Protein backbone atom coordinates (compact mmCIF):
# COMPACT_ATOMS: atom_id res chain seq x y z
CA UNK A 1 0.00 0.00 0.00
CA UNK A 2 2.81 2.41 0.92
CA UNK A 3 4.56 1.72 -2.41
CA UNK A 4 1.39 2.63 -4.31
CA UNK A 5 1.05 5.91 -2.45
CA UNK A 6 4.71 6.71 -3.11
CA UNK A 7 4.31 6.09 -6.86
CA UNK A 8 1.22 8.28 -7.04
CA UNK A 9 3.10 11.15 -5.30
CA UNK A 10 5.97 10.83 -7.72
CA UNK A 11 3.59 11.01 -10.67
CA UNK A 12 1.96 14.14 -9.27
CA UNK A 13 5.34 15.81 -8.82
CA UNK A 14 6.42 14.82 -12.33
CA UNK A 15 3.19 16.20 -13.78
CA UNK A 16 3.62 19.50 -11.99
CA UNK A 17 7.20 19.76 -13.20
CA UNK A 18 6.12 19.07 -16.77
CA UNK A 19 3.36 21.64 -16.52
CA UNK A 20 5.80 24.27 -15.25
CA UNK A 21 8.28 23.45 -17.98
CA UNK A 22 5.65 23.59 -20.68
CA UNK A 23 4.41 26.98 -19.48
CA UNK A 24 7.94 28.38 -19.75
CA UNK A 25 8.29 27.23 -23.31
CA UNK A 26 4.94 28.74 -24.27
CA UNK A 27 5.86 32.10 -22.61
CA UNK A 28 8.83 32.55 -24.92
CA UNK A 29 11.97 34.63 -24.14
CA UNK A 30 11.82 37.28 -21.33
CA UNK A 31 11.32 40.85 -22.68
CA UNK A 32 13.82 43.54 -21.61
CA UNK A 33 12.81 47.06 -20.55
CA UNK A 34 13.37 49.63 -23.30
CA UNK A 35 16.24 52.07 -22.71
CA UNK A 36 15.40 55.32 -20.92
CA UNK A 37 15.95 58.48 -22.96
CA UNK A 38 18.22 60.85 -20.97
CA UNK A 39 20.63 63.73 -21.44
CA UNK A 40 24.17 63.29 -20.19
CA UNK A 41 27.27 65.37 -19.54
CA UNK A 42 30.90 64.60 -18.76
CA UNK A 43 32.52 65.73 -15.51
CA UNK A 44 35.38 68.16 -16.13
CA UNK A 45 38.06 69.88 -14.06
CA UNK A 46 38.04 73.65 -13.83
CA UNK A 47 39.18 76.57 -11.68
CA UNK A 48 36.00 77.48 -9.86
CA UNK A 49 35.44 80.49 -7.58
CA UNK A 50 34.37 79.55 -4.05
CA UNK A 51 31.22 81.58 -3.49
CA UNK A 52 28.37 82.00 -1.03
CA UNK A 53 25.16 83.25 -2.65
CA UNK A 54 22.46 84.87 -0.55
CA UNK A 55 20.06 87.82 -0.44
CA UNK A 56 20.78 91.16 1.22
CA UNK A 57 19.28 94.56 1.95
CA UNK A 58 20.82 97.89 0.97
CA UNK A 59 21.30 100.15 4.00
CA UNK A 60 22.73 103.65 4.43
CA UNK A 61 25.96 103.92 6.37
CA UNK A 62 24.61 107.07 8.02
CA UNK A 63 21.02 108.27 8.35
CA UNK A 64 20.40 111.60 10.09
CA UNK A 65 17.05 112.99 11.21
CA UNK A 66 17.43 116.77 10.97
CA UNK A 67 15.81 118.59 13.90
CA UNK A 68 15.52 122.38 14.49
CA UNK A 69 17.76 123.55 17.34
CA UNK A 70 15.92 126.83 17.88
CA UNK A 71 12.23 127.69 17.77
CA UNK A 72 10.83 130.07 15.18
CA UNK A 73 9.14 130.51 11.83
CA UNK A 74 10.52 128.82 8.71
CA UNK A 75 11.24 131.62 6.25
CA UNK A 76 12.61 129.52 3.36
CA UNK A 77 13.32 125.97 2.18
CA UNK A 78 16.60 125.78 0.30
CA UNK A 79 16.60 122.25 -1.15
CA UNK A 80 14.46 119.98 -3.32
CA UNK A 81 13.12 116.66 -2.12
CA UNK A 82 15.25 113.78 -3.39
CA UNK A 83 18.19 116.09 -4.04
CA UNK A 84 21.76 115.09 -3.23
CA UNK A 85 23.14 117.56 -0.71
CA UNK A 86 26.66 118.10 0.58
CA UNK A 87 27.68 118.29 4.21
CA UNK A 88 27.03 121.86 5.41
CA UNK A 89 24.53 122.65 2.63
CA UNK A 90 21.73 125.03 3.69
CA UNK A 91 18.38 123.25 4.05
CA UNK A 92 16.05 125.65 5.94
CA UNK A 93 16.16 129.22 7.22
CA UNK A 94 14.39 130.23 10.43
CA UNK A 95 13.45 133.86 11.12
CA UNK A 96 16.69 135.29 12.50
CA UNK A 97 15.44 138.69 13.69
CA UNK A 98 14.76 137.73 17.35
CA UNK A 99 18.12 136.03 17.60
CA UNK A 100 20.00 138.92 16.00
CA UNK A 101 18.39 141.22 18.58
CA UNK A 102 19.48 138.89 21.37
CA UNK A 103 23.05 139.08 20.08
CA UNK A 104 22.95 142.88 20.04
CA UNK A 105 21.60 142.96 23.60
CA UNK A 106 24.28 140.56 24.83
CA UNK A 107 26.96 142.69 23.18
CA UNK A 108 25.65 145.82 24.94
CA UNK A 109 25.58 144.13 28.33
CA UNK A 110 29.12 142.89 27.81
CA UNK A 111 30.33 146.37 26.85
CA UNK A 112 28.70 147.94 29.93
CA UNK A 113 30.06 145.38 32.36
CA UNK A 114 33.51 145.49 30.75
CA UNK A 115 33.67 149.25 31.36
CA UNK A 116 32.61 148.77 34.97
CA UNK A 117 35.16 146.00 35.42
CA UNK A 118 37.97 148.19 34.03
CA UNK A 119 37.02 150.99 36.42
CA UNK A 120 36.88 148.58 39.34
CA UNK A 121 40.31 147.21 38.46
CA UNK A 122 41.73 150.75 38.48
CA UNK A 123 40.15 151.48 41.88
CA UNK A 124 41.50 148.22 43.28
CA UNK A 125 45.03 149.07 42.09
CA UNK A 126 44.84 152.60 43.52
CA UNK A 127 43.59 151.41 46.91
CA UNK A 128 46.34 148.79 47.02
CA UNK A 129 48.94 151.57 46.70
CA UNK A 130 47.17 153.68 49.32
CA UNK A 131 47.11 150.69 51.67
CA UNK A 132 50.88 150.36 51.31
CA UNK A 133 51.19 154.03 52.49
CA UNK A 134 48.68 153.45 55.29
CA UNK A 135 46.31 155.98 53.72
CA UNK A 136 43.35 153.53 53.73
CA UNK A 137 42.38 150.66 55.92
CA UNK A 138 42.82 147.03 54.84
CA UNK A 139 39.02 146.68 54.88
CA UNK A 140 38.55 149.47 52.35
CA UNK A 141 41.20 148.05 50.05
CA UNK A 142 39.74 144.57 50.36
CA UNK A 143 36.30 145.84 49.37
CA UNK A 144 37.67 147.35 46.17
CA UNK A 145 39.53 144.11 45.35
CA UNK A 146 36.35 142.09 45.83
CA UNK A 147 34.30 144.46 43.66
CA UNK A 148 36.86 144.20 40.84
CA UNK A 149 36.91 140.42 41.09
CA UNK A 150 33.10 140.21 40.97
CA UNK A 151 32.96 142.42 37.89
CA UNK A 152 35.58 140.30 36.16
CA UNK A 153 33.34 137.26 36.74
CA UNK A 154 30.37 139.23 35.43
CA UNK A 155 32.28 140.00 32.22
CA UNK A 156 33.05 136.30 31.77
CA UNK A 157 29.36 135.47 32.18
CA UNK A 158 28.42 138.22 29.73
CA UNK A 159 30.84 136.79 27.17
CA UNK A 160 29.29 133.34 27.58
CA UNK A 161 25.83 134.82 27.11
CA UNK A 162 26.98 136.56 23.94
CA UNK A 163 28.51 133.33 22.60
CA UNK A 164 25.23 131.51 23.28
CA UNK A 165 23.22 134.23 21.53
CA UNK A 166 25.52 134.00 18.49
CA UNK A 167 25.18 130.20 18.51
CA UNK A 168 21.39 130.45 18.52
CA UNK A 169 21.60 132.93 15.66
CA UNK A 170 23.74 130.50 13.65
CA UNK A 171 21.19 127.75 14.25
CA UNK A 172 18.57 129.72 12.33
CA UNK A 173 20.40 128.36 9.28
CA UNK A 174 19.60 124.63 9.30
CA UNK A 175 22.36 122.81 7.41
CA UNK A 176 22.94 119.18 6.44
CA UNK A 177 25.20 117.34 8.91
CA UNK A 178 26.26 114.77 6.27
CA UNK A 179 26.44 114.37 2.51
CA UNK A 180 23.55 112.32 1.17
CA UNK A 181 20.10 112.34 -0.35
CA UNK A 182 17.31 114.42 1.16
CA UNK A 183 14.01 112.65 1.81
CA UNK A 184 10.61 114.30 1.78
CA UNK A 185 10.48 117.44 3.90
CA UNK A 186 8.02 117.36 6.77
CA UNK A 187 7.34 121.11 6.98
CA UNK A 188 6.85 124.01 4.57
CA UNK A 189 7.91 127.64 4.72
CA UNK A 190 5.75 129.78 7.00
CA UNK A 191 5.25 127.14 9.67
CA UNK A 192 6.53 127.40 13.23
CA UNK A 193 9.05 124.83 14.45
CA UNK A 194 9.93 124.08 18.05
CA UNK A 195 13.38 123.23 19.32
CA UNK A 196 11.74 120.77 21.71
CA UNK A 197 9.87 118.93 18.95
CA UNK A 198 10.39 115.21 18.27
CA UNK A 199 9.49 115.10 14.55
CA UNK A 200 12.40 115.60 12.11
CA UNK A 201 11.89 118.25 9.46
CA UNK A 202 13.81 116.13 6.92
CA UNK A 203 15.90 112.94 6.85
CA UNK A 204 19.26 112.75 5.06
CA UNK A 205 20.56 109.33 3.99
CA UNK A 206 24.13 108.73 2.91
CA UNK A 207 24.19 106.85 -0.40
CA UNK A 208 27.85 106.99 -1.43
CA UNK A 209 29.44 104.95 -0.04
CA UNK A 210 26.66 102.57 0.97
CA UNK A 211 26.36 99.14 2.60
CA UNK A 212 24.54 95.88 1.93
CA UNK A 213 23.50 93.84 4.96
CA UNK A 214 23.24 90.06 4.57
CA UNK A 215 23.83 86.78 6.44
CA UNK A 216 25.89 83.66 5.80
CA UNK A 217 25.27 80.14 7.21
CA UNK A 218 27.17 79.32 10.37
CA UNK A 219 28.69 76.31 8.57
CA UNK A 220 30.69 78.78 6.47
CA UNK A 221 32.05 80.75 9.47
CA UNK A 222 35.43 78.99 9.72
CA UNK A 223 36.06 79.35 5.98
CA UNK A 224 35.12 83.04 5.97
CA UNK A 225 37.32 83.79 8.98
CA UNK A 226 40.30 82.01 7.43
CA UNK A 227 39.89 83.83 4.11
CA UNK A 228 39.51 87.23 5.83
CA UNK A 229 42.92 86.80 7.46
CA UNK A 230 44.48 86.45 4.01
CA UNK A 231 43.00 89.73 2.75
CA UNK A 232 39.79 91.60 1.90
CA UNK A 233 36.96 89.46 0.54
CA UNK A 234 35.18 90.51 -2.63
CA UNK A 235 31.40 90.89 -2.56
CA UNK A 236 29.17 91.35 -5.58
CA UNK A 237 25.67 92.83 -5.40
CA UNK A 238 23.41 91.93 -8.32
CA UNK A 239 20.79 94.56 -9.10
CA UNK A 240 18.04 94.09 -11.74
CA UNK A 241 18.80 96.50 -14.58
CA UNK A 242 15.19 96.91 -15.67
CA UNK A 243 16.25 96.48 -19.32
CA UNK A 244 14.35 93.39 -20.45
CA UNK A 245 15.80 91.45 -23.37
CA UNK A 246 13.90 88.43 -24.73
CA UNK A 247 11.91 88.29 -21.51
CA UNK A 248 15.02 88.34 -19.32
CA UNK A 249 15.96 91.04 -16.85
CA UNK A 250 19.78 91.10 -16.77
CA UNK A 251 21.48 92.08 -13.54
CA UNK A 252 23.92 94.92 -12.93
CA UNK A 253 26.91 93.69 -10.92
CA UNK A 254 28.23 96.15 -8.32
CA UNK A 255 31.58 95.39 -6.68
CA UNK A 256 32.28 95.85 -2.98
CA UNK A 257 34.31 94.55 -0.04
CA UNK A 258 33.25 92.65 3.08
CA UNK A 259 33.58 95.13 5.98
CA UNK A 260 31.80 93.44 8.89
CA UNK A 261 31.42 89.90 10.24
CA UNK A 262 29.05 89.56 13.18
CA UNK A 263 30.30 88.50 16.58
CA UNK A 264 27.54 85.95 17.26
CA UNK A 265 25.37 83.43 15.41
CA UNK A 266 21.66 84.18 15.34
CA UNK A 267 20.21 81.08 17.06
CA UNK A 268 16.83 81.52 15.38
CA UNK A 269 18.27 81.34 11.84
CA UNK A 270 21.69 79.73 12.27
CA UNK A 271 23.32 82.56 10.34
CA UNK A 272 25.92 85.27 10.98
CA UNK A 273 25.20 88.91 10.08
CA UNK A 274 27.58 90.55 7.61
CA UNK A 275 27.96 93.89 5.85
CA UNK A 276 29.76 94.91 2.68
CA UNK A 277 30.81 98.41 1.60
CA UNK A 278 30.19 99.70 -1.94
CA UNK A 279 31.36 103.05 -3.45
CA UNK A 280 27.99 103.39 -5.26
CA UNK A 281 29.16 106.33 -7.33
CA UNK A 282 26.43 105.75 -9.93
CA UNK A 283 23.62 105.18 -7.37
CA UNK A 284 23.00 101.63 -8.59
CA UNK A 285 22.25 100.59 -4.98
CA UNK A 286 19.20 102.19 -3.33
CA UNK A 287 18.55 102.17 0.43
CA UNK A 288 15.96 99.57 1.43
CA UNK A 289 16.22 97.56 -1.81
CA UNK A 290 16.69 93.78 -1.84
CA UNK A 291 19.64 92.52 -3.90
CA UNK A 292 21.28 89.19 -4.61
CA UNK A 293 24.68 88.94 -2.95
CA UNK A 294 27.66 86.78 -3.92
CA UNK A 295 30.54 86.56 -1.42
CA UNK A 296 33.71 85.20 -3.07
CA UNK A 297 36.04 83.34 -0.71
CA UNK A 298 38.69 82.33 -3.23
CA UNK A 299 39.30 79.93 -6.11
CA UNK A 300 39.24 76.13 -6.11
CA UNK A 301 41.83 74.86 -8.59
CA UNK A 302 41.24 71.60 -10.49
CA UNK A 303 37.72 71.14 -9.17
CA UNK A 304 35.53 68.36 -10.60
CA UNK A 305 32.51 70.13 -12.09
CA UNK A 306 29.18 68.87 -13.46
CA UNK A 307 25.90 70.61 -14.30
CA UNK A 308 23.97 71.24 -11.09
CA UNK A 309 21.03 69.17 -12.39
CA UNK A 310 23.22 66.04 -12.24
CA UNK A 311 23.06 66.09 -8.43
CA UNK A 312 19.81 64.65 -7.08
CA UNK A 313 18.53 64.21 -3.54
CA UNK A 314 17.36 61.12 -1.70
CA UNK A 315 16.75 60.06 1.89
CA UNK A 316 20.33 58.79 1.97
CA UNK A 317 21.73 62.11 0.72
CA UNK A 318 22.78 63.62 -2.63
CA UNK A 319 23.66 61.31 -5.50
CA UNK A 320 24.26 61.21 -9.25
CA UNK A 321 23.44 58.62 -11.90
CA UNK A 322 26.73 57.60 -13.51
CA UNK A 323 26.67 56.00 -16.98
CA UNK A 324 28.81 52.87 -17.23
CA UNK A 325 30.51 51.47 -20.32
CA UNK A 326 27.56 49.17 -21.11
CA UNK A 327 25.15 52.15 -21.15
CA UNK A 328 23.59 51.22 -17.82
CA UNK A 329 23.55 53.54 -14.84
CA UNK A 330 24.65 53.23 -11.26
CA UNK A 331 23.43 55.41 -8.39
CA UNK A 332 26.55 56.95 -6.79
CA UNK A 333 26.54 59.06 -3.58
CA UNK A 334 28.29 62.43 -3.98
CA UNK A 335 29.33 65.40 -1.89
CA UNK A 336 28.88 68.67 -3.71
CA UNK A 337 28.79 72.44 -3.30
CA UNK A 338 27.21 75.06 -5.53
CA UNK A 339 29.16 76.92 -8.20
CA UNK A 340 28.38 79.83 -10.55
CA UNK A 341 26.58 79.27 -13.81
CA UNK A 342 24.30 76.42 -12.73
CA UNK A 343 27.16 74.06 -11.94
CA UNK A 344 28.09 71.89 -8.98
CA UNK A 345 31.56 71.20 -7.63
CA UNK A 346 31.90 67.52 -6.68
CA UNK A 347 34.10 67.07 -3.62
CA UNK A 348 33.58 63.30 -3.38
CA UNK A 349 31.98 60.62 -5.55
CA UNK A 350 32.96 61.58 -9.11
CA UNK A 351 36.14 61.98 -11.11
CA UNK A 352 36.93 63.93 -14.26
CA UNK A 353 35.70 62.01 -17.30
CA UNK A 354 32.73 60.37 -15.55
CA UNK A 355 29.56 60.60 -17.60
CA UNK A 356 26.50 61.61 -15.56
CA UNK A 357 22.80 61.97 -16.31
CA UNK A 358 21.64 65.59 -16.18
CA UNK A 359 18.04 65.18 -17.35
CA UNK A 360 15.58 62.29 -17.22
CA UNK A 361 16.55 60.88 -13.81
CA UNK A 362 12.94 60.40 -12.69
CA UNK A 363 12.55 57.37 -14.97
CA UNK A 364 15.83 55.75 -13.90
CA UNK A 365 16.63 52.98 -11.43
CA UNK A 366 20.06 51.50 -10.74
CA UNK A 367 21.02 49.17 -13.58
CA UNK A 368 18.63 50.74 -16.09
CA UNK A 369 19.81 50.98 -19.69
CA UNK A 370 19.83 54.48 -21.21
CA UNK A 371 19.66 56.04 -24.63
CA UNK A 372 21.33 59.45 -24.90
CA UNK A 373 19.43 62.33 -26.43
CA UNK A 374 20.81 65.77 -27.35
CA UNK A 375 20.30 68.59 -24.85
CA UNK A 376 17.12 70.65 -25.16
CA UNK A 377 17.59 73.48 -27.64
CA UNK A 378 20.58 71.90 -29.45
CA UNK A 379 20.64 71.87 -33.23
CA UNK A 380 20.30 68.55 -35.11
CA UNK A 381 23.39 67.45 -37.05
CA UNK A 382 23.76 69.03 -40.46
CA UNK A 383 22.86 66.89 -43.49
CA UNK A 384 25.61 66.69 -46.14
CA UNK A 385 24.95 67.18 -49.85
CA UNK A 386 25.69 63.50 -50.46
CA UNK A 387 23.04 62.52 -47.99
CA UNK A 388 20.58 64.82 -49.71
CA UNK A 389 21.32 63.20 -53.07
CA UNK A 390 20.74 59.73 -51.64
CA UNK A 391 17.22 60.67 -50.57
CA UNK A 392 14.44 59.72 -52.99
- Each residue's pLDDT tens digit, 307-361: 999 999 999 999 999 999 999 999 999 998 777 778 899 999 999 999 999 999 9
392 burial (CB, 10 Å; 0-12 / 13-18 / 19+) is exposed
Distance CA 219, CA 224 (A): 10
Whether pLDDT at 266 is above 80: yes
Same domain? 153 vs 227? no
Total domains present in the chain: 3
Same domain? 142 vs 262? no
Question: What is the model's pTM?
Answer: 0.67
What is the band of 105 on the pLDDT scale with cuts at 50, 70, 90? very high
Same domain? 309 vs 354? yes
What is the band of 298 on the pLDDT scale with cuts at 50, 70, 90? confident
Same domain? 150 vs 245? no
Same domain? 101 vs 86? no
| Residue 182 in domain | yes
281 CB neighbour count, 10 Å cutoff: 10
pLDDT number for residue 21: 47
Same domain? 109 vs 223? no
C-alpha dist (Å) from residue 49 to 11, 52, 216, 268, 321: 76, 10, 17, 30, 25
Looking at 117, 151, 171, which one is the last position of a domain? 171
Domain boundaries, position 201: 70-93+174-205
pLDDT number for residue 339: 74
Same domain? 234 vs 279? yes
| Residue 126 in domain | yes
% of the chain with per-residue pLDDT over 70? 85
Give bridge partners of residue 286 from the DSSP assignment. Answer: none
CATH code for the domain of 257:
2.40.30.170
Amino acid sequence: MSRLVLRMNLLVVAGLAAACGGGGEQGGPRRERPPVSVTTAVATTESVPIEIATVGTVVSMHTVSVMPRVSGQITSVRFKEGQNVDKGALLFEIDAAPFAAAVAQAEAVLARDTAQQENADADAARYAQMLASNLVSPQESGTKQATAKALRATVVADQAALDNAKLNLSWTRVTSPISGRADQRQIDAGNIVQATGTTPIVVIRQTSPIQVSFSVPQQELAEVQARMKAGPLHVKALVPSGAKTNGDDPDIAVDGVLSFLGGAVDPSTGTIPCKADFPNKDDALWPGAFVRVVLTLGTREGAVVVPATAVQSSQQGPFAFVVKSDNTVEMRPVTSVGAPGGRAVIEQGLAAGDKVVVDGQLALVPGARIAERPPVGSMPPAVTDGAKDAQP
